[in-house]
């Protein structure tokens, strides 16, 4: 009788433990028994599932003591305000006169977002800035959303599914740039010319673009994303 009671008690404990286990959401760590965390973005479990978070980390790279990650992101819709150069050749300096803060904010306030992420503000997308001879350059201020059906005056950009390398702009990455601090966009050149070649990655030419995700109101800190593919070594 005592043996049977012991077996039943163990089975009950295992059942309770199984019920308390949390299903994994790819790319995110379960933290503190309460929330999902990715970088500095925090979400409740129900919200994380509702948002269908599908970004996942496929490789972690430690470069001179600083972690960079290779992540896969599904096709994603961004909506907001887009500016494209008109010059031939296109000039980056055009954006200083083209962009309008009121115009940008009006478009962002009009974006239809069904599941807004509370920690995610606007995303900056640089279109073809890395190309040597682009036909045009674009800069997009946007929010991540679920639909391409947006009000008039809101521009839509669909980011294709792709691998990305990402780096976080904190004091550690600033040290690699020999600076006291750095903004996300300042990591683009360093990742492209220092990190990617060393670890076998090159720019992806699949239409995906460089992005900046911010996690503070001043938009001075966050992640820089660059679309990449693994370089295939040529056979001798």
Whole-model pTM: value is 0.75
Cβ partners under 8 Å of residue 190, min gap 6: 167, 173, 176, 177
Which H or E element spans position 159? Answer: strand 155-159
Q: Would you kindly state where each structural domain of the chain is located, as residue ranges?
A: 22-53, 72-230
In DSSP terms, 125 is beta-bridged to 140, 211
pLDDT 10s digits, 49-106: 444 456 889 999 999 999 999 999 999 999 999 999 877 777 777 887 888 999 999 9
Sheet strand arrangement including 29-31: 29-31, 35-38, 41-44
Fold observed for domain 72-230: Multidrug-efflux Transporter 1 Regulator Bmrr; Chain A (3.20.80)
pLDDT 10s digits, 182-230: 999 999 999 999 999 999 999 999 999 999 998 877 888 899 999 999 9
């Amino acid at each position: 009788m005592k043996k049977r009671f012991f077996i039943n008690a163990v089975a009950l404990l295992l059942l309770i433990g199984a019920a308390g286990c949390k299903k994994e959401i790819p790319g995110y760590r379960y933290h503190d028994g309460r929330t999902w965390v990715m970088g500095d973005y925090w979400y409740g479990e129900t919200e994380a599932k509702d948002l269908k978070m599908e970004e996942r980390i496929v490789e972690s790279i430690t470069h001179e003591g600083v972690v960079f990650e290779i992540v896969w992101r599904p096709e994603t819709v961004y909506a907001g305000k887009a500016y494209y150069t008109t010059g031939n050749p296109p000039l980056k300096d055009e954006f200083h006169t083209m962009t309008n803060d009121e115009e940008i904010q009006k478009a962002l306030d009009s974006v239809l977002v069904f599941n807004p992420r509370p920690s995610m503000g606007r995303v900056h997308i640089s279109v073809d800035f890395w190309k040597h001879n682009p036909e045009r350059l674009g800069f997009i201020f946007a929010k991540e959303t679920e639909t391409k059906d947006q009000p008039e005056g809101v521009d839509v950009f669909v980011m294709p599914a792709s691998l990305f390398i990402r780096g976080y702009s904190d004091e550690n990455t600033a040290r690699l740039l020999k600076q006291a601090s750095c903004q996300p966009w300042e990591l683009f050149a360093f990742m492209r010319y220092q990190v990617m070649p060393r670890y076998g990655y090159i720019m992806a030419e699949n239409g995906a673009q460089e992005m900046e995700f911010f996690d503070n109101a001043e938009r001075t800190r966050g992640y820089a994303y660059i679309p990449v593919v693994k370089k295939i070594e040529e056979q001798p």
